[in-house]
Amino acid sequence: MNADSASPHDLGGQIAVVTGAAQGLGLGIAAQLARDGAAVVIADLQEEKAWAAATGLQEQGLAVQAGHLDVADSDQVKVFFDQVISQRGRLDILVNNAGVGQVVTPLVELGDREWERVLRVTLTGAFYCCRAAGRIMERQESGAIVNIASINGQNPAALVVAYNVAKAGVISLTRTLALEMAAYGVRVNAVCPGPVYTEFNRTVMAQRSQSLGLNEEQMIERIRSAIPLGRWGEPIDIARAVAFLCSPAASWITGEIMRVSGGLEGVSAAPPKRPKG
């Protein structure tokens, strides 16, 4: 394909890392980037599952590898990105997708350890990876980073304060880094997904439905009916938006926070008083 006819969505020849991509949204993102032509590395805590996912995608003819990474471990993140450079020579795309949900509980009941666990993976992990990739991309004077935030980062939902704060932090991290990287031609954007029925969401929904006295199906329907486009999201919905932001089609977009949620802005319901204990 010559330069004139190349699709602006083509990622051919690009090296991409997607964190937390052994399953769920990350896996959908890794697959989409690879279908668009990138060579993708899945970086996940669950190494075996990451390799199984990579092998499945290789069988479809896609260039996907996997590696172990705990994004919350500063040293591991440094070593991981050093290895990407020593093995591949460059890094064109980073998608910071790894994140953990929070045990659904009121702020006044939330323990120190749960607060720290959620912030450490979901916000600090994104910072470590942005820092490592940012150094590489600044040197290269090219690259694109997409951070996966959440609609909760813009409009907090009750009973998950640590998660809301972590995702609001990811949005600020994105906008700060976009400013700092602009002079180097490196673009940094965020996607705020709405509800997609992954393992993460299933766990949170199960806890929320219990607190509201609903069964799982009623809870799924309640969320569905709140979404203006009338359906839950699929990983592909999020993956296509991420791939767009990584591609030359988005070459004049940076510091953008893109909601991909079927129109849902957030879940702002206030829970009733709790029984006095």
Measured between alpha carbons, how far is 244 from 205 in angstroms, rounded to an integer? 29
For 39, the enclosing helix (H) or strand (E) is strand 39-44
For 128, the enclosing helix (H) or strand (E) is helix 125-140
Based on its alpha-carbon atoms, the radius of gyration of the chain, rounded to whole angstroms, reads 19
Measured between alpha carbons, how far is 172 from 112 in angstroms, rounded to an integer? 23
Q: Which is nearer to ligand NAD, 32 or 198 (CB)?
A: 198
Q: Which listed range, 4-12, 92-100, 109-117, 265-273, lies at the site for ligand NAD (CB under 6 A)?
A: 92-100
Of the candidate residues 59, 75, 199, 217, the single one contacting ligand NAD (CB under 6 A):
199
Instruction: Please answer whether residues 45 and 69 qualify as being in contact, where contact means their C-beta atoms are separated by less than 8 angstroms.
Output: yes
Of the candidate residues 45, 95, 104, 146, the single one contacting ligand NAD (CB under 6 A):
45
Q: Which listed range, 10-18, 67-75, 106-114, 134-142, lies at the site for ligand NAD (CB under 6 A)?
A: 67-75
Q: Write out the two tokens for 59.
A: 């069988």
Of the candidate residues 54, 69, 161, 260, the single one contacting ligand NAD (CB under 6 A):
69
Q: What does the DSSP 8-state code read for residue 146? A: E
Helix (H, G, I), strand (E, B) or coil at 214: coil
Q: Which listed range, 31-39, 106-114, 174-182, 198-206, lies at the site for ligand NAD (CB under 6 A)?
A: 198-206
Q: Which listed range, 38-46, 59-67, 221-229, 268-276, lies at the site for ligand NAD (CB under 6 A)?
A: 38-46
Catalytic residue among 128, 163, 184, 197: 163
Residue 220 CB, nearest approach to ligand NAD (Å): 12
Q: Which is nearer to ligand NAD, 201 or 247 (CB)?
A: 201
Q: Write out the two tokens for 128.
A: 């470590």
- If one asks whether residue 148 binds ligand NAD (CB under 6 A), the answer comes out as yes
Q: What does the DSSP 8-state code read for residue 160? A: -
- If one asks whether residue 196 binds ligand NAD (CB under 6 A), the answer comes out as yes
Amino acid occupying residue 58 = Q
Instruction: Please answer whether residues 29 and 105 qualify as being in contact, where contact means their C-beta atoms are separated by less than 8 angstroms.
Output: no
- If one asks whether residue 266 binds ligand NAD (CB under 6 A), the answer comes out as no
Of the candidate residues 104, 195, 223, 254, the single one contacting ligand NAD (CB under 6 A):
195
- If one asks whether residue 161 binds ligand NAD (CB under 6 A), the answer comes out as no
**Pairing, β 93-96 against β 64-68:** unpaired
Q: Is 163 considered catalytic here? A: yes
- If one asks whether residue 31 binds ligand NAD (CB under 6 A), the answer comes out as no
Residues that contact ligand NAD, how many (by CB under 6 A):
29
Measured between alpha carbons, how far is 110 from 98 in angstroms, rounded to an integer? 22
Q: How far, in Å, are 104, 119, 174 from residue 168 at the CA level?
A: 18, 11, 10
Catalog residues that contact ligand NAD under the rule CB under 6 A: 19-20, 22-26, 44-46, 69-72, 97-100, 121, 125, 148, 150, 193, 195-196, 198-201
Catalogue the active-site residues. 163
